[in-house]
Amino acid sequence: MMNKTPEQINQDLLLPLNSTSWRYYVAVAALGSLVIMGLCAWGYQLDNGIGVSGLDRPVFWGVYITDFVFWIGISHAGTLISAILRVSNAKWRRPVTRCAEAITVFSLLIAATFPVIHLGRPWLFFWLIPYPSERGIWPQFRSPLLWDFFAINTYLIGSFSFLLLPSFPDFALVRDRSTGWRRRIYSIVSLGWRGTPKQWHRLEMAMRIMAVAIIPVAVSVHTIVSWDFAMAPVPGWHSTIFGPYFVAGAIFSGIAALIIAMAVLRKLLHLEEYLEPIHFDHLGKLLLAMSLIWFYFVFAESLTIWYGNEPSEMTVFWVTRSGQFSWLFWTMVICNVIIPAPILSVKRLRSKIGWTVVASIPVIVGMWLERFLIVVPSLSHGRLPYAHGGYRPSWVEIAITVGSFAAMPLLYLLFIKVVPIISIWELKLGQHEKPAEAPATVPGIAESVPASGR
Amino acid sequence: MATVKEQTQKTYRLKKRRWGMVVDEDRCTGCEACVLACHAENNIAIVGEGQAVRGRAMHWIRVERYYEGKFPDVKVKYQPVFCQQCGDAPCEVVCPTYASYHNAEGLNAQVYNRCIGTRYCANACPYDDRFFNFENPSWDKPLNLQLNPDVSVRSVGIMEKCTFCIQRIKAAEMNAEAAKRQLADGEFNPACVQSCPTEALVFGDLDDPESKVSRLAGSNRGSKLLEDLGTKPSVTYLRRGTWYDEQNT
């Protein structure tokens, strides 16, 4: 870590809460107008019906479901990575965890709107909730969509608590250092945190339990999202590999999003001394591993289909590899493996923040394309050749998608004004740890940190 | 006092019937009278040219054309495809709201009021026989006056599909019940069967061994569409195959 007194850390990390530059307002206005554009497009769709989308028969699912799966994937950046780093007690996690957890909550909120946007009669979405109605009608528990509903809500509640729990000491810090109405608000949200040993003990216990509990939840969420596809007898979907394939893809895109978010925050909030190249180096290693795992899954899936040589599966196989969707498929492969893997393999490039970002941006594009290529080609090339069709997204779908991509940074910008984006107390805790306690199994940290810095 | 189950049975007369259909492809001329009759009977929206080009046309029954051989020696095969009313339907289990469910007579029923439009059922259907209302339906005057009062008009955002003309089934059952008699085979037919000039379509109770449909369904010309998926379709397609030709020439 860096040589900073606790007071300096407080000042540095609370700065974004206390001062706002004109650039911030410009950014919020720009992103906000894009989000409003997306909302207007949705309003237009609500008024005119789902027919304003480009969907047709047989491509009943399109960009909305692609966006949904994509954003659920991004949400795996945060809570899962943060939980794994906490459980494995990786020392370098401290400045990373809260940015990661915030990504999860925001992308889940965005993802959760897409199934509703996608509905033919969105105002009736609450029929998925199992409430006792006078007619005695319950939702269908055999439907993967209902599993999805429960999985996403569990994950949302879980990751929101996971973000909130370690924020209480920081809320208390803000409370103690502010006056007036801010003080009143933060004294409510810090829930009477006074930093007594008992409170610290309880927080620690709660975080330990949550960190362990949230990992299976995160894995199950994207597995269940994949089952939306895998449970239907559609060529290209009906595959046992989908669960782990989706989870791997989700973590892959999630880490890429985290790297980009951290790089932007580092510049915007002048956190150069907190988010160091070493953090990007470690995340880059994770990204490289996920890139290779993702490629392994794509290869395994393709080879199995090709050897099986089942006619309807092969139709989808060829239409994506050499047919009308092939340019998207090969763009995806380039974005997900051919660009990031070589960059991240070289230590010299990986330890430069700019290069990790260069490797991460194509991953976001590639993983969105991956979801699109799972949804659309299978639907447009069903089992009966007579019913084959095509699909072209309409401006409404594109506007809503752009809106969702603007919503993510917007929520993030609003978040950094109310919550310190780096967990202050955890960072200080890391400073107080004796060098002997740091496990020798994290060589990257040991090498990069001068002994005096501890 | 009668239990709920007894009352239900009394009210709805849950009898063991399994409606099925036989399509004789060797008889089908591809005239599409069935398509027209189905539209008239079931108030199916005419989506118009623009929407049809975008792949949003709705025909609960469609006549697929397949060409064999090269010009000029071409044979056209017609295959009318509609909901196969699967015994083990992929569309039913995926609906989160029970809008798509299996009724007591083996039909894959669709409750329009309960449909929220996830469109999952249509993806799961391997026969592409589910149709979505992308827009509110409208009929040019005076066609709005010819709507069938027995069938509800579906609004935007709802999935719909072939019902085997369930309104006719229910009416015939109620008439038979009122007259205290059993339903006779061929007493009533869905609109497509009724309108088929070559009797390529036959409808009836598959559980009645005497019915025309169950006798035809057992024919050695018979096969089912995408049978290997295990959907247990209630529709049997009859077509002359090489094996049959060898046996009979």
In A343-409, the DSSP E strands lie at none
Q: Residues of A with CB below 8 A from B126's CB?
A: 233-234, 382-384
Answer whether A122's CB lies under 8 Å from A113's CB.
no
Indicate which of B115, B119, B127 best probes the interface with A, i.e. most A CBs within 10 Å of its own CB. Answer: B119
Domain contains A193: yes
Q: Which of A76, A77, A99, A80 is nearest to A88 (CA)?
A: A80
For residue B85 the two structure tokens come to 């009313």
Q: Is the pLDDT of residue A292 over 90?
A: yes
Q: Is residue B30 within 8 angstroms of chain A, CB to CB? A: no
Q: What is the pLDDT of residue B249?
A: 53
The three state secondary structure string of A247-301 is HHHHHHHHHHHHHHHHHHHHHHCCCCCCCCHHHHHHHHHHHHHHHHHHHHHHHHH
The nearest alpha carbon in chain B to A234 belongs to B124
Contact between B123 and A57 using a beta-carbon 8 Å cutoff: no
The label of the residue with tokens 């006549």 reads B63
| Residue A444 binned pLDDT confidence (cut-offs 50, 70, 90) | very low
Range of the domain at A224: 6-453
Task: Report the Cα–Cα distance between both ends of chain B, in Å, rounded.
Answer: 65
Contact between B229 and A49 using a beta-carbon 8 Å cutoff: no
In three-state secondary structure terms, A452 is helix
Contact between A56 and B134 using a beta-carbon 8 Å cutoff: yes
Nearest CA-CA distance, residue A135 and chain B, Å: 12
Q: What distance in Å separates the CA atoms of residue B41 and residue B63, rounded to the nearest whole number?
A: 18
B62 alpha carbon, distance to own chain's centre: 11
Q: What is the pLDDT of residue A372?
A: 95
pLDDT in tens, B103-162: 888 899 999 999 999 999 999 999 999 999 999 998 888 888 889 999 999 999 999 999
Long-range CB pairs of B244-249 (<8 Å, 24+ gap) are B244/B220
Q: What is the largest CA-CA distance in chain B?
A: 73
Q: Residues of A with CB below 8 A from B48's CB?
A: none
Q: Residues of A with CB below 8 A from B225's CB?
A: 384
How many domains does one find in chain B? 1
Domain contains B132: yes
Cα dist. A25→A28, A32, A36 in Å?
5, 10, 16
Q: What distance in Å separates the CA atoms of residue A341 and residue A359, rounded to the nearest whole number?
A: 8
Q: What distance in Å separates the CA atoms of residue A226 and residue A34, rounded to the nearest whole number?
A: 30
Q: Residues of B with CB below 8 A from A387's CB?
A: 127-128
Q: Residues of A with CB below 8 A from B157's CB?
A: 49-50, 119-121
CB-nearest partner of A232 from B65, B79, B124: B124
A329 alpha carbon, distance to own chain's centre: 22
Answer whether B235's CB lies under 8 Å from B89's CB.
no
Q: What is the pLDDT of residue A110?
A: 95
Domain contains B241: no
Q: Is residue B157 within 8 angstroms of chain A, CB to CB? A: yes
Nearest CA-CA distance, residue A239 and chain B, Å: 14
Q: Which of B32, B50, B77, B43 is nearest to B163 (CA)?
A: B43
Helix (H) or strand (E) holding A392: none
| Residue A436 binned pLDDT confidence (cut-offs 50, 70, 90) | very low
Nearest CA-CA distance, residue A113 and chain B, Å: 13
Residue B209: which CATH number?
Answer: 3.30.70.20
For residue B32 the two structure tokens come to 């599409």
Q: What distance in Å separates the CA atoms of residue B119 and residue A62, rounded to the nearest whole number?
A: 11
Q: What is the pLDDT of residue B1?
A: 53
Kindly give the interhelix angle for A197-230 and A144-164, rounded to the nearest 10 degrees.
Answer: 160
Nearest CA-CA distance, residue A231 and chain B, Å: 8
The nearest alpha carbon in chain B to A65 belongs to B118
Q: Which residues contact A160 (CB under 8 A, 6 or more apart)?
A: A105
Q: Which of A16-30, B181-195, B233-247 has the lowest mean pLDDT?
A: B233-247
How many domains does one find in chain A? 1
Contact between A127 and B96 using a beta-carbon 8 Å cutoff: yes
Mean pLDDT of A14-22: 79
CB-nearest partner of B123 from A50, A149, A234: A234
Domain contains A33: yes
pLDDT in tens, A361-391: 999 999 999 999 999 999 999 898 888 888 9
Q: Is residue B174 within 8 angstroms of chain A, CB to CB? A: no
Nearest CA-CA distance, residue A384 and chain B, Å: 6
Contact between B56 and A140 using a beta-carbon 8 Å cutoff: no
| Residue A8 binned pLDDT confidence (cut-offs 50, 70, 90) | confident
Q: Which of B33, B28, B56, B60 is nearest to B44 (CA)?
A: B60
Q: Which of B18, B22, B82, B84 is nearest to B212 (CA)?
A: B22
Q: What is the pLDDT of residue A441?
A: 44
Contact between A384 and B127 using a beta-carbon 8 Å cutoff: yes
Ramachandran class of B182: left when φ > 0, alpha when ψ lies in -120 to 50, beta otherwise: beta
Answer whether B66's CB lies under 8 Å from B239's CB.
no
| Residue B242 binned pLDDT confidence (cut-offs 50, 70, 90) | low
In three-state secondary structure terms, A351 is coil
Q: What distance in Å separates the CA atoms of residue B208 and residue B18, rounded to the nearest whole number?
A: 8
Q: Which of A288-292, B70-74, B201-205 has the lowest mean pLDDT?
A: B70-74
Q: What distance in Å separates the CA atoms of residue B87 and residue B137, rounded to the nearest whole number?
A: 31
Domain contains A1: no
Q: Which of A304-308, A398-402, B71-75, B190-194 has the lowest mean pLDDT?
A: B71-75
Angle at B101 between CA B95 and CA B103, to 5 degrees: 175
Amino acid at A328: L
Q: What is the pLDDT of residue B3?
A: 65
CB-nearest partner of B128 from A142, A387, A390: A387
Alpha-carbon dihedral A82, A83, A84, A87, rounded to 10 degrees? 120
pTM summary value: 0.90
Residue B22 phi, psi dihedral angles, 5° rounding: -125, 135
Per cent of chain A over pLDDT 70 is 94
Residue A421: which CATH number?
Answer: 1.20.1630.10
β B19-24/B235-238 pair status: parallel
Torsion sign, CA atoms A440, A443, A445, A449: positive
β B130-132/B108-110 pair status: unpaired
Contact between A57 and B97 using a beta-carbon 8 Å cutoff: no
pLDDT in tens, B34-54: 999 999 999 999 998 999 998
Q: Is the pLDDT of residue A437 over 90?
A: no
Q: What is the pLDDT of residue A328?
A: 95
Domain contains B113: yes
Helices (H) and strands (E) in chain B, counts: 9, 10
Cα dist. A239→A300, A328, A370, B123 in Å?
11, 21, 16, 15
Contact between B134 and A50 using a beta-carbon 8 Å cutoff: yes
Q: CB contacts < 8 Å between A and B, how many?
A: 139
Q: What distance in Å separates the CA atoms of residue A237 and residue A227, rounded to the nearest whole number?
A: 9
Q: Which of A284, A261, A236 is nearest to A421 (CA)?
A: A261
Q: What is the pLDDT of residue A445?
A: 41
Contact between A119 and B157 using a beta-carbon 8 Å cutoff: yes
Q: What is the pLDDT of residue A5?
A: 76
Angle at A388 between CA A386 and CA A392, to 5 degrees: 150
Q: What is the pLDDT of residue A451?
A: 43
Q: Which residues contact A445 (CB under 8 A, 6 or more apart)?
A: A91, A92, A278, A438
Domain contains B242: no
Residue B236 phi, psi dihedral angles, 5° rounding: -110, 135
Nearest CA-CA distance, residue B182 and chain A, Å: 32
Contact between A384 and B226 using a beta-carbon 8 Å cutoff: yes
pLDDT in tens, B208-231: 889 999 999 988 888 999 988 999
Range of the domain at B173: 16-43+50-234
Contact between B132 and A60 using a beta-carbon 8 Å cutoff: yes
Q: What distance in Å separates the CA atoms of residue A131 and residue A153, rounded to the nearest whole number?
A: 15
The nearest alpha carbon in chain A to B94 belongs to A143
Burial of A321 (0-12, 13-18, 19+ CB in 10 A): middle
Nearest CA-CA distance, residue B155 and chain A, Å: 10
Q: What is the pLDDT of residue A245?
A: 94
Mean pLDDT of A192-203: 88
Domain contains B240: no
Answer whether B234's CB lies under 8 Å from B84's CB.
yes
Say if residue B137 is preceded by a cis peptide, omega within 30 of 0: no
Domain contains B66: yes
* Rg, chain A, Cα only: 23
Domain contains B220: yes
Nearest CA-CA distance, residue B51 and chain A, Å: 9
DSSP annotation of A336 reads I
- Name the interface residues of A facing B (CB cutoff 8 Å): 49-51, 54-61, 115, 118-122, 124-125, 127-128, 137-140, 142-146, 149, 228, 231-234, 379, 382-384, 386-387, 389-390
Indicate which of A143, A147, A231, A396 best probes the interface with B, i.e. most B CBs within 10 Å of its own CB. Answer: A143
Query: Could you tell me which residue, A116 or A190, shows the higher pLDDT?
Result: A116
Nearest CA-CA distance, residue B132 and chain A, Å: 8
Domain contains A427: yes
